[in-house]
A = this chain, B = another copy of it.
């Protein structure tokens, strides 16, 4: 989710649009750069919602350079979204991974752990992934090698995330 990412980056420090664009691209390993037609309208919406303000840099004679600052409302909105449960059990991976990228902004480790626990509950829920009724689907069951591949990749991803979640929760709880 773009707005969440924008708020997340501006929480660290003020940026202007172009820098924001580069940060956003780096978030996906430069695989999914965000388009201008997406970024600038999003900034405007956040601005008109009062979540950020822009300061035009006076010194620069060139094209106007707007430095974007998070407002207090913006900071609060970010923390709300990070804690908000709706985005978690949601299967929209992009939304969840974006949230994870900025989870550090929740300064309370217990809040962070609560978020991870909800995600863990969602992923570990047996009914959620590739079940045919009560029965889990085995990769063998797909005659089609491509469907089998899809299942194998999905499983590997889920396993990797579960492992990481359990380790990280153990560390958070120990701290």
Asked if A138 CB lies within 8 Å of chain B CBs, one says no
Q: Which residues of A1-54 have CB atoms within 8 Å of chain B's CB atoms?
A: 26, 28-32
Chain B residue, CB-CB nearest to A155: B160
Asked if A55 CB lies within 8 Å of chain B CBs, one says no
CB–CB B146/A103 < 8 A: yes
Asked if A60 CB lies within 8 Å of chain B CBs, one says no
CB–CB B101/A32 < 8 A: no
- Of the listed stretches A61-69, A70-78, A128-136, chain B binds A128-136
Most chain B beta-carbon neighbours within 10 Å: one of A112, A131, A147: A147
Given contacts A156-B157, A160-B152, A168-B145, whether A29 and B103 have CB atoms under 8 Å apart is no
CB–CB A153/B164 < 8 A: yes
Q: How far is the CB of A132 from chain B (nearest CB, A)?
A: 8
CB–CB A32/B153 < 8 A: no
Q: Which residues of A122-174 have CB atoms within 8 Å of chain B's CB atoms?
A: 128-132, 144-147, 149-150, 152-154, 156-157, 159-161, 164-165, 168, 171
Asked if A100 CB lies within 8 Å of chain B CBs, one says yes
Given contacts A29-B128, A30-B131, whether A156 and B154 have CB atoms under 8 Å apart is no
